[in-house]
Every structure is written in C-alpha cells, then in structure tokens.
Amino acid sequence: MHRRQFVQHAAALAALPLASRLAAPLGAQKRPLVVNGDRLNGWLAQFDRIGRTPTGINRVAYSAADLAGRAFTRELFAQSGLQLRLDTAGNMLARVPGTDPKRAPILIGSHVDSVTDGGNYDGPVGSFAAIEVARSLAEQKVRLRHPLEVVVWQNEEGGTIGSKIAVGLLTPADLEKVARSGKTVREGIGIIGGDVSRLQEAVRTPGDIAGYIELHIEQGGLLEKASRQIGVVEGIVGLRWFEITVTGFANHAGATPMDQRQDAMLAAAKFTVAVNEAIRKEPGRQVATVGRVNVLPNTTNVIPGQVVLTVDLRDLEQSKIDRFTRTFEQIAREIGAETRTTFAFNQLVNSTPALSDARIMGVVEQSAMALGLSHQRMPSGAGHDAQEVAHIAPMGMIFVPSVGGISHSPKEFSRATDITNGANVLLNAVIAADAALP
C-alpha cells in the first residue's frame, strides 16, 4: 500500500469508530461493521424466481408478480424483527426507534417492482440491503440516536409513484396513468393495500426526515470501466422530454422532383443528427436521445408528410438543460427553413436535477475508505426515488457496479461481492450519518 493510501485508510478507520461510539454508547466499535452478505445475496437469489419469465423479470407494478414480490419482502421484514406498516400510498415501512425520540428518522430503502423484461437487481438490491442493515444493527447491538426507517417504495419504475406521493407531488392526473400491468395508479394503490381517499396521510414535509440514503446498482459502466467498487452519487440528473412534430407535405414518391419536396422524414433525420452533434460538441456529461419516431403516412411510395419524434435531454446542471433546449429549437428553425417544413415542440416531462447532500456524500466516502473500498464521485443518469425525497430532505446514493453497464435487461447482473460491499458502505454510512445529521 502506498503511503498516501495508508494515511487515507488509517484516517478513515479512525474517524468511523467515533460515529460508532455516538451511535452505540454501550461499546465503541474498533473497526467498521459488516452485514451478513451471504444472507443478503441469498434473499436476492430467492427473489429471482418471482416474476421470472423466458424474456426476463416481469414484476411490473400492481401485477400478480408485483404482489408476490411484495409478499416476499413482507416476510423478510418479519424475519428481521421489523414491524411492517403500510402507508396509505402502499409504501412498505418499518421503524427502529432511536435513543432520542425527538430526532427525525434516517430513511433507507429502494423498490422491488421491475420494468417489463427487466432484471433482478434494479431496486431489490437497495431494498433488501436496507432490511439487512437494520437487522445487522440489531444483531450487533448498535442503537442509533436517530430512529432508522426502512422503506420499500411502490411503483418506482412507473414514475416514482410511491415517493412522489410521500413528498406531496403526485397530481390527480397521475392517478389516472396506466401502469405496465394495465391497471391505473388509482386502481393499483387499492390493489396493494393503500387508500386513495387518504393519500394526504402518507405525505411528509421538510423536517420529517433527517436524511435519506439509497443503495442501487449503477445501471451504467463507469465504475466497471474505472475499476472502482463504490460510486458516490453527486446528484440525479434533471431531464426534459419533448415530443416534436415535423410537418411537411405528403406527395407521390415517383412524380415529385427532389427539389420540390417538403419531406418531413428528411427534416427529422437532419434534426436527429444535429442534436447528436450539438451534444457531443460540448465537453461534459450531458446526453440527448431521439428515442421514438412515428412517420405518416408510413407508406413506401409516399413522401412522408409528418413525423413525430421524441427527445430525451439530461444533465446535472439545470442551466445546461435550458441552454440545450434553446439550441434544439434553433436547430429546428434552421432545418425547417432549409427543408420547407415546420417543427412544433411539446414538452412532456420536466424534472429538475436533484443534488446529493454534501454531508451524506461525505459519510459515504468515509465509509468506503474505512472499508478499504475504491470509490469515485459520479452523477446518476437514471431517475430514482431519491430525487423525489430530495424535495424535502438531504439525500445521497451509493452505487455498486453493473456488469457490462447493463440494466433494464434480463442480462442485468451485479456480483455478490459488490452487493455486499455496497451494503457494508450503507451500514457504516448510516452510523456516521447518525452523528453528522442534525
């Protein structure tokens, strides 16, 4: 070990027991605590059978497989000595009292629903690790000053529905949205045991939560590429979705000379290339994707008269999202003039970036160092429940590597060692946050 690495490691080992003494006044911990990794990974292996189909994991919200997954999770709460309660939104919660009842709880957790034909790690890793952390603290007789609350949010993949309700951001229109199971959110809340008429009872306000920490698979390949074991999430990117309608003039493909056409498809293609070039031209982590294209009349021998396409724009800086929005609009005007077509922008989604709390990033880094784990700071390019909780409380996230950078796929995989590492960082970050958070 190099001298600098030794000094950093020794400093981290010295710092973490201080937090442990504050959390566990009955006896200071001389080294970082660890979870039962075999138990945690055993739960995940068992869970893989629920919703497993030939095309991947299908535990979409409010489906029979989702209900089976929630039943399995409920059993894990019981096995771990945690008293489960269901809030009116259908979120699963359990609280471990702290030594100071006046303190707001530290919240940890994730979700267990999946996308269509997804994998077994997106969500369950963080949910089951949170249960394991609470169980490990009890088994090792460590009691925090803050209460510790474990949460499993409902319908994260359908738009962070459970956490949106918890922070008071769900709209009446959201209740009528149809989940991948074919059920509306309104119907689904009733199916999982919630009560739509009493959703306000599930809402939390600023001050109700001391801090939120979520463990998750990275869903990208940055950690693997850098050979790092832990990602310290700086924030969750904001995103802006557009539906753009390009209007030209449908005409005969054989009888219309090339210089007389108003080809909407040509304009859309030029726009797609130009968006990609604009994003790549500027240094940074911004991304933009043209993801869906519908062509009318979509016939072999007719010049396309209309194209509807979508753009997904994401970055950790709101000012950059705003600036690229203006850039795309200017590109559309120029291409429209060149091709004699028109572009109409309709904004579908607009979420602002959610930045991680500096104190929580600090305790995550401190915990990784104390455990001898390599780490790096990084943004989250995907959305998470943490971005909703950030509206009312300090939040942070811990990433572990996804093999091949694959997620939302049957090939999604994270190694058992990496999952255990992440849970150990979560455990010690909770202990340190107990001292760091007010």
Q: pLDDT tens for residues 249-276? A: 999 999 999 999 999 999 999 999 999 9
Q: Under a CB-based contact definition with an 8 Å cutoff, are residues 185 and 155 in contact?
A: yes
- List CB contacts of 392: < 8 A, sequence separation 6 or more: 167, 204, 205, 206, 208, 209
Q: Residue 97 to residues 22, 24, 81, 109: CA-CA distances in angstroms? A: 15, 13, 13, 17
* pLDDT exceeds cutoff 70 at 411: yes
> What is the average pLDDT value for the chain, to the nearest integer?
93
**Spatial distance between the Cα atoms of 56 and 280, rounded to a whole number of angstroms:** 33
Q: What DSSP line would sit under 369-396, residue for residue?
A: HHTT--EEEEEE-S--HHHHHTTTS-EE
To which H or E segment does residue 325 belong? helix 318-339
SS (H, E, C) 25-59: CCCCCCCCCCCCHHHHHHHHHHHCCCCEECCEECC
Question: What is the model's pLDDT at position 8?
Answer: 41
Q: Which of 236, 192, 217 is nearest to 60 (CA)?
A: 192
Bridge partners of 212, per DSSP, are 107, 395
Q: Is the peptide bond before 297 cis (omega within 30 degrees of 0)?
A: yes
Say whether both 89 and 138 belong to one domain.
yes
**What's the burial of 207, exposed, middle or buried (CB within 10 Å: 0-12/13-18/19+)?**
exposed
**Spatial distance between the Cα atoms of 367 and 131, rounded to a whole number of angstroms:** 19
Say whether both 122 and 229 belong to one domain.
yes
Tell the residue number behind the tokens 């959390």, with chain if given.
23
* pLDDT exceeds cutoff 70 at 207: yes
**Spatial distance between the Cα atoms of 342 and 339, rounded to a whole number of angstroms:** 9
* pLDDT tier for residue 27 given thresholds of 50, 70 and 90: very low
Say whether both 203 and 290 belong to one domain.
no
* pLDDT exceeds cutoff 60 at 199: yes
Say whether both 254 and 384 belong to one domain.
no
Question: What is the model's pLDDT at position 384?
Answer: 95
**Spatial distance between the Cα atoms of 11 and 13, rounded to a whole number of angstroms:** 5
* pLDDT exceeds cutoff 70 at 23: no
* pLDDT exceeds cutoff 80 at 210: yes
* pLDDT exceeds cutoff 90 at 14: no
Residues 42-64, mean pLDDT to the nearest whole number: 98
* pLDDT tier for residue 55 given thresholds of 50, 70 and 90: very high
Question: What is the model's pLDDT at position 351?
Answer: 87
* pLDDT tier for residue 3 given thresholds of 50, 70 and 90: very low
Say whether both 207 and 310 belong to one domain.
no
148-153 and 106-111 beta bridge pairing: parallel
Three-class secondary structure of residue 212 per DSSP: strand
CATH number at residue 403: 3.40.630.10
Three-class secondary structure of residue 96 per DSSP: strand
Q: Under a CB-based contact definition with an 8 Å cutoff, are residues 28 and 14 in contact?
A: no
Choose one of 351, 371, 406: the last residue of a domain.
351
Question: What is the model's pLDDT at position 438?
Answer: 84
The number of beta carbons lying within 10 Å of the beta carbon of residue 406 is 17
Q: Tokens standing for 27?
A: 């006896």
In this structure, is the dihedral angle defined by the CA atoms of residues 386, 388, 389 and 393, taken in order, positive or negative?
positive
Count: domains in the chain? 2
Q: Residue 80 to residues 76, 129, 361: CA-CA distances in angstroms? A: 6, 12, 28
Question: What is the model's pLDDT at position 12?
Answer: 43
Residues 181-206, mean pLDDT to the nearest whole number: 98
State the Cα angle at 293 between 63 and 113, rounded to 5°: 20
The number of beta carbons lying within 10 Å of the beta carbon of residue 284 is 10
Residues 51-61, mean pLDDT to the nearest whole number: 97
- List CB contacts of 207: < 8 A, sequence separation 6 or more: 104
* pLDDT exceeds cutoff 80 at 116: yes
Domain of residue 283: give its range: 238-351
**Spatial distance between the Cα atoms of 107 and 137, rounded to a whole number of angstroms:** 14
Say whether both 370 and 391 belong to one domain.
yes
Q: pLDDT tens for residues 301-312? A: 999 999 999 999
Say whether both 222 and 173 belong to one domain.
yes
Choose one of 351, 379, 400: the last residue of a domain.
351
Say whether both 41 and 131 belong to one domain.
yes
- List CB contacts of 335: < 8 A, sequence separation 6 or more: 267, 270, 271, 274, 341, 343
Share of the chain above pLDDT 90, in %: 91
Q: Of 9-13, 50-54, 169-173, 271-275, which range is least confident?
A: 9-13
Q: Tokens standing for 270?
A: 């030029």
Say whether both 242 and 331 belong to one domain.
yes
* pLDDT exceeds cutoff 70 at 11: no
> For helices 124-139 and 37-47, what crossing angle results, to 10°?
140
Q: Of 24-33, 149-158, 329-338, which range is least confident?
A: 24-33
Question: What is the model's pLDDT at position 30?
Answer: 64
Q: Tokens standing for 41?
A: 């990974």
Say whether both 129 and 208 belong to one domain.
yes
Say whether both 270 and 182 belong to one domain.
no
Choose one of 325, 351, 377: the last residue of a domain.
351
Say whether both 70 and 100 belong to one domain.
yes
Side-chain half-sphere CA neighbours of 240 within 13 A: 21
* pTM for the structure as a whole: 0.86
- List CB contacts of 325: < 8 A, sequence separation 6 or more: 240, 313
Question: What is the model's pLDDT at position 349?
Answer: 85
- List CB contacts of 429: < 8 A, sequence separation 6 or more: 213, 360, 363, 364, 366, 367, 396, 398
